[in-house]
Each structure stands twice: as C-alpha cells, then as structure tokens.
Amino acid sequence: MTDPEPERMQPGHWLLIGLITLLVVGVAAVTVLRRDQDPDVRAAGVTIAPTASSPASPVCVPEVAETGQSQREGLVSFGIVLTSDCPQATVAGLLNVVAIGADGTVLKGDQAEAGILLPAVLPGQRVGLGGMLLVGFDASVKSIRASFSDTQNMPVSAFSSWPAVHVTDIKHRGPDSSGHTQVTGVLVTEPNTAKLCNPRYFLLLRNTAGALIYGVETYKEKPFFDERLPTGIDWSKTEISVVMGVPGLSPVSPARVTCQ
C-alpha cells in the first residue's frame, strides 16, 4: 500500500500562518522596547544607544558683578554692572530685574520688574546698565536682583568689525529750577571714523562710599542725560556705558545682531 497523498494547504491556512508570524514578531519588539525603557533593566547593565537629541552645552552668560539702587516716592532707580569671562559673545540676552523688599521677598506688580535687552556682551567686556522700577509709596526696597534668560552664545569673530568705544570727559550741570541735572560725555571710538552699531548709553552714579545708587538709559543719539538725580553723588566716580547691537530674542543671526 502507498501512503495517501498529503492534503494540500488551502489559501486560508497560509493567511493564518502569516498573521501568527507577524503577531510573534510584534510581541518580541514590544518586549525589547519595554526592556530598554525599564530602569531596572538599564541598571542591570543593558546598554541603550544614545539618541540624536543629546543635551546641548550650557550657555555661558555674563556675571552680575554689582547692583545698587535709590528710592524716591515709590520710584526705584537701579544700576547694574555686568562682567563677562565667557570665551564667546553672549547675544540676544534678556536681563530680568526685580526689586527685593525689606522682608527678602520679591515685590509684586506690573512695574515692579523690568527687562533689559542686551544684544551683545563680548568676552572681557564690562557693561553698566540702569533703569527704573515702580514699587509703590509704601514699599521699602532692600536690593534688586538680576538674572538672564533667552540667551545664546556666538563666536566673537562675528564682531571683528566693531570698534573699541568708551565715553570720556563726563560733565554735569544743575540741578536747574525744575530739579533736573544735565550730564554729558564725549564718545571716543578707535578708529575715530567708525560707525557704531545701534548704540545705547547708560549713566551710572555712585555715592561717596563707592556704592551704586543710580542708573538710567538715554534715548538720545549721544551721551546726554537730563534727569532728576539722587543726592550724595560722588561725581568723580560717574561712568557712562555704551551697549551696541540690534536687540532681539534668541535665536538671532550674526548679521542681524552686528548690523551687517
């Protein structure tokens, strides 16, 4: 006798076998994924391949080297000095400034905080800034606090066309009958024919003990200030700082920030 001929597989049988194969492969893939995500499995020595979105290097920002303020009728005038030891330029910076009350807490209010846009701070640069906060007549301000946000670094070579600049021959006159004092300075650039990239000027004042007590920005096209100033100023310690660059929030292009 001969064995009967084996039964031929019907098309439906082949489809069923294919579905079972796909199911087995899927279960295996899910098992591997869960092992990769399981902290206990990772701790046991399973190696996980690094992803393309690895953390970026931290942004280097200038240091807030000095702050000071004076208060008159609910208005706080503050001065800030920044210094930079960063190897690259810090650009598109936003310096957030808040007032600290006598109890050590941040004073609240829409105008009790301010933001100063810093287009660029170069390596080794020292920058003076100033502004105003409105805290209310009954508030007592102990200090101010400044911190950076929305900042990025950029190669200093992007600013190679910028001239060296400073303000000298600072003079004052007043106060006049309205209580305003005029402060002026002479802008010096190297080379002296250089055109500045969107300059802004900040006046910083100190008392006889050398502490910062005032800072303000002028909206003039040159170092000229016409303000109601606090008393007790040591005029020999007066300085006017120049900030250059086109303001903008991060990220920015080198051409925009450097006026190219």
Assess whether the previous peptide bond of 251 is cis (omega < 30° from 0).
Answer: yes
Instruction: Please check whether residue 167 is in contact with residue 186, taking contact to mean a CB–CB distance below 8 angstroms.
Output: yes
Mean pLDDT of the chain: 83
What is the per-residue pLDDT for 60?
95
30 alpha-carbon distance from chain centroid: 43
Tens-digit pLDDT profile for residues 165-202 = 999 999 999 999 999 999 999 999 999 899 999 999 99
Average pLDDT over residues 256-260: 92
Phi, psi (deg, nearest 5) at residue 187: -80, 130
Q: Hey, where are the domains in the chain?
A: 11-43, 63-257
Average pLDDT over residues 2-19: 46
Q: State the pLDDT confidence band at 57, using cuts at 50, 70 and 90.
A: confident
What is the per-residue pLDDT for 24?
40
Q: State the pLDDT confidence band at 5, using cuts at 50, 70 and 90.
A: very low
Which of 38-47, 60-69, 70-79, 161-170 is predicted least confidently? 38-47
Average pLDDT over residues 237-250: 92
Instruction: Please check whether residue 191 is in contact with residue 162, taking contact to mean a CB–CB distance below 8 angstroms.
Output: no
What is the per-residue pLDDT for 173?
96
What is the per-residue pLDDT for 28?
42
What is the per-residue pLDDT for 95?
95
DSSP string, the chain: --PPPPPPPPHHHHHHHHHHHHHHHHHHHHHHHHHHH-HHHHHTT---PPPS-PPPPPPP--EEEEEEEEEETTEEEEEEEEE---SSEEEEEEEEEEEEETTSSBPPSTTSEEEEEEEEE-TT-EEEEEEEEE--TT--EEEEEEEEES-EEE-GGGGTTPPEEEEEEEEEE---TTS-EEEEEEEEEESTTPPPSS-EEEEEEEBTTS-EEEEEEE-SSSSEEEE---SSB-GGG-EEEEE-S---PSS--HHHHTT-
What is the per-residue pLDDT for 29?
43
* Percent of the residues in the chain that have a pLDDT greater than 90, as a whole number: 63
Comparing CA positions, the residue from 198, 97, 91, 110 lying closest to residue 150 is: 91
Comparing CA positions, the residue from 76, 26, 63, 28 lying closest to residue 146 is: 63
